[in-house]
Amino acid sequence: MIAAYLIGADVWWQTLTEVADPGELAGAGDKLLACLHAALPAVVLAHQNAQEDLHSEDKRVRRALLGALLEGRPYEELAGVARVAVGGEHEVVAFAFESDPPSRLVQSSLGAFTGIPVLMDHVARIALLPGRSDVPGLVARLEKDVGEPVRAAAARSSVPAAISSAAQEAGRVLDLVRRLGRPPGCYRLDDVLLEHQLARPGDGLVRLAAMLNPLEEHPYLLETLRVFVERGLNRRGRRRSRASTATPWTTGCSESAR
């Protein structure tokens, strides 16, 4: 747009020099400069306003898209308007900062690490990362950029329809991590699985029980663990009831001791 004004001014001046008297050129030049001084700032301002409107609309659509994904609502049309591919796996990450870093700084840090624009709700402090992103690496980069420790909780979503439940899981884990006073860093449900199950009985029980699967090949260890739990996690209880708790493992240890 600015180039068009300059080209027009150049053509106008060349034509004027061919037909005007030499004495008229000074006045004509002053008028040309005055015109350019008035027109060019207005053109630049109009261009900036148009770009800001486009950018603002783009951000609005992206926020609406993220909101739909986090709430489990239809998202396909919004994804098309925003030109964002949301198929496949995602990492849903909830963040907690010690202060309130600028949203632009956080957004630029996430984008610089992933190499693409990242969908993030800067009010809820939750972001959607494509694929199997290096979340611990991202948290380390974010800590460096914002200049303060960061706590984050991540949950993986295999399909867009599961993003909502993954966001809820990440939020619960982050809340638990903060209440437990865990140090800054990146956490997943498995990192606080026992605490999560005690604080909020639910689906975590299945994952917690799965951690005992390796003991199925060693029934005597499983029996020892069962008795240990029944005794209130008190190892001294075995001495008072040695007969009922004896196992090949504990018997072997006793015979070795003798």
Beginning with the edge strand found earlier in the chain, give each strand of the sheet holding 126-130 in spatial order: 119-121, 126-130, 90-97, 150-157, 185-187
Q: pLDDT exceeding 90 applies to what percent of the chain?
A: 38
**Which residues fall within 8 angstroms of residue 129, CB to CB, at 6 or more apart?**
90, 91, 92, 93, 110, 114, 118, 135, 138
On whether the CB atoms of residues 64 and 105 are closer than 8 A, the answer is no
Distance CA 58, CA 128 (A): 17
What per-residue confidence (pLDDT) applies to 23?
A: 72
Q: Which residues contact 159 (CB under 8 A, 6 or more apart)?
A: 88, 89
* 40-44, 105-109, 212-216: which is most confident: 105-109
Question: In terms of C-beta density within 10 A (0-12 exposed, 13-18 middle, 19 or more buried), how is residue 91 classed?
Answer: buried
What CA–CA distances, in Å, run from 37 to 5, 10, 48, 158?
Answer: 11, 15, 17, 57
Please work out, in degrees rounded to the nearest 5, the angle formed at the alpha carbon of residue 252 by the alpha carbons of 246 and 258: 105
Going along 23-168, which residue ranges are E strands? 90-97, 119-121, 126-130, 150-157
User: What's the chain's average pLDDT?
Assistant: 79
C-alpha Rg value of the chain to the nearest Å = 33
Residues whose CB falls within 8 Å of the CB of residue 208, separated by 6 or more in sequence, listed in order: 193, 194, 197
pTM as predicted: 0.61
Q: Tens digit of pLDDT for each residue in 57-85?
A: 678 888 999 999 999 999 988 888 888 88
How long a stretch of residues is the chain?
258
- Say what the pLDDT of residue 125 is: 95
CA separation for the pair 153, 173 (Å, rounded):
6
Amino acid at 3: A
Q: 115-164: per-residue pLDDT in tens?
A: 888 999 999 999 999 888 899 999 999 999 999 999 999 999 999 999 99
Q: What is the pLDDT of residue 206?
A: 63
- CA–CA dist 67, 56 (Å, integer): 16
